[in-house]
Amino acid sequence: MKSIEYIDRATGRIEQEIVPGERWLRWLYHTASGKAALSSVVKRRFLSRWYGRKMDASASCRKIPEFVRDLSIDMNEASAPIDSFASFNDFFIRTLKPTARPVDPSPRAVVSPADGKALAFENLSGFETFFVKGQRFLLNSFLQDEALAQRYVDGTLMIVRLAPADYHRFHFPADGVISASKPIKGAYKSVSPIAVRHALGVYWQNKREYSVLRTEAAGDILICEVGATMVGTIVQTYEDETEVHKGQEKGYFKFGGSTVILLFEKGRVKVDADILENTRNGYETSVKMGTRIAQCLD
């Protein structure tokens, strides 16, 4: 498989993603010995928990400068200096300055819940433009709630993948009232395109939790946070059944790559044309939290 390429939304150019541990991922997902290791060890909960504890230790601070340098992280956006963090995880869940992520103020704009690379699929179809042929998104398996799944049949799906270099807090995509978060146990497989192009089922096999944001203009938006390899913890920081605002923090992921998935009811939003076109052409689109990704149709 070729390197991970995506469309930089700001410039429209194709860029290549820097992937920590890329050779390791290719071995895991594209060789017989690697797949055996994945099945027996890597996707297991204990490995992610063990590594998470290492990243919480004060000694892990020494990893921060090299990580920032190798992945070209802009620390001018961070609300605290690089030498102020108590551990690598403390750095990883860093907050940003209030001006770093402007939120689109239009009442009709639905914004990205996170920094990352986005894919979008209208009518829960068209997966063969990015994923290997023949795969379908199984709503019942994903939500484990048949009645809820029925509400999103023929709806719109957006996948925002967070790489290790990204800001790892996630936010609300619109104004509304937010439900409690429902956790679903699962594995800890990678959500990198190196892994998921051949295995869409990762999204309903991995640990995840979802909530429903009830909005006036965009209907009920289902927000699901999905864990991955070395992501042992998803933390929700909001209060259940409260009114929230677009761009307000919802929670954060601890160390690793991860994903936020949005499901929209049929006919409620129109995803921005560039994201749809890039997905049809087999590319993710870079997005920043707070930028518009769709518009309400009502």
* Annotated active-site residue in 87, 168, 171, 181: 171
Residue 252: what are its φ and ψ, rounded to 5°?
-155, 160
* Phi-psi category of residue 192: left, alpha or beta, with phi > 0 → left and psi -120 to 50 → alpha: beta
**Choosing from 115, 166, 220, 272, which is the catalytic residue?**
115
258 is an active site residue: yes
Give the Cα separation of 119 and 279 in Å (integer). 6
Active-site position among 60, 87, 258, 286: 258
Cα separation, 278 vs 117, in Å, equals 11
Task: Answer yes or no: 115 catalytic.
Answer: yes
Q: Which are the catalytic amino acids?
A: 115, 171, 258
